[in-house]
Every structure is written in structure tokens, then in C-alpha cells.
Amino acid sequence: MAWQDRIVVDPGILVGKPVVKGTRLAVEFIIDLLAQGWTEAEILRNYPGLTREDIRACLVYASMVLRAEKVYPFAVSEA
């Protein structure tokens, strides 16, 4: 599954946050629900416009963003 088919970034929707296509539900919001312990069934029941594939696309998108994250250590001088 290509997340690009289900996740869009549009500056005119939620200030450019990635959202599920055709909704105003941010990827961040869906990931937060899962982190709070919501099941896929609970999310789908409460947000009937979503599909199982939308939830998976949110997870794939989040994984891709984290994989691309770079951390650059820097030295702090003790002066």
C-alpha cells in the first residue's frame, strides 16, 4: 500500500498537517488514538469515514517520517 494514495498534505487543510484524504482527520490524531489504546474497531466505529486502509496508511506514514529523522549530536563546551 502506498500511503500517498490516502494521506495528503495541503496548506489549506489543518495548516498543512498530513491528513487522511477526504477528511480533516490528522495522521497525528489517528496515531494518538492508537497510542491511547483505542482499537482499530473503535476508531472505525467513531469515525465512519475512515477505513482500515486509512489507519494503516497513517502508521506507514508515521514510520516513514521517523525513519527519515536525523539526529545530529553537538558538543557543548564548558566555559
What CATH number belongs to 3-68? 1.10.10.10
Taking the CB of residue 18, how many other CB atoms lie within 10 A of it?
20
pLDDT at 7: 96
Domain boundary assignment for the chain: 3-68
Q: Dump pLDDT digits (tens) for 41-58.
A: 999 999 999 999 999 999
Q: What is the pTM of this model?
A: 0.84
Cβ neighbors of 69 (< 8 A, separation 6 or more) are: none
- Does the pLDDT at position 32 exceed 70? yes
